[in-house]
Amino acid sequence: MALKVEHEMHRRRLGRNVGLGLVLIAFVALVFGLTLVKTKRGDFNTVPPSQAEGSN
């Protein structure tokens, strides 16, 4: 007799945990992607481009 019996309850919990894990990974990737895009576009620049050029 198998020591560990797979029940509906275990299957549901595993599905929920794996699903949540994947969602969290996707969320981290999304925030990382957003940060990259916004940084490249200069959304986080506090100094206006004209002033930045003038100071050089």
Partner 1 sequence: MTDTSIQTQVQQGDAGFSDFFALLKPRVMSLVVFTALVGLLAAPVPVHPFIGFTAILFIALGGGASGALNMWWDADIDRIMKRTQSRPIPAGRVTEGEAMGFGAFLSVLSVTMLWLATNWVAAAILGFTIFFYVVVYTMWLKRSTPQNIVIGGAAGAFPPMIGWAVATGGVSVESVLMFTLIFMWTPPHFWALALFMKADYHEAKVPMLTVTHGRKATRSHILVYTILLAPIALGIAATSIGGPIYLAVSLILNALFLKGAVDIWRRDETTAESDSYRTEKKVFGLSLLYLFGHFCAILLESGLRAYGVGGW
Rounded CA gap, 7 and 10, in Å? 5
Interacting residues with partner 1 between 25 and 54 (CB under 8 A): 30, 33-34, 37-38, 41
How many chain residues bind partner 1 (CB under 8 A)? 21
By beta-carbon proximity to partner 1, the closer residue of 19 and 47 is 19
List the structure tokens of 19.
């699903």
What residue spans of the chain are helical by DSSP H? Answer: 8-41, 49-55
Cα Rg of the chain, angstroms = 24
* Nearest-approach distance from CB 9 to partner 1, in angstroms: 5
By CB under 8 A, name the binding residues for partner 1: 3-5, 7-13, 15-16, 18-20, 30, 33-34, 37-38, 41
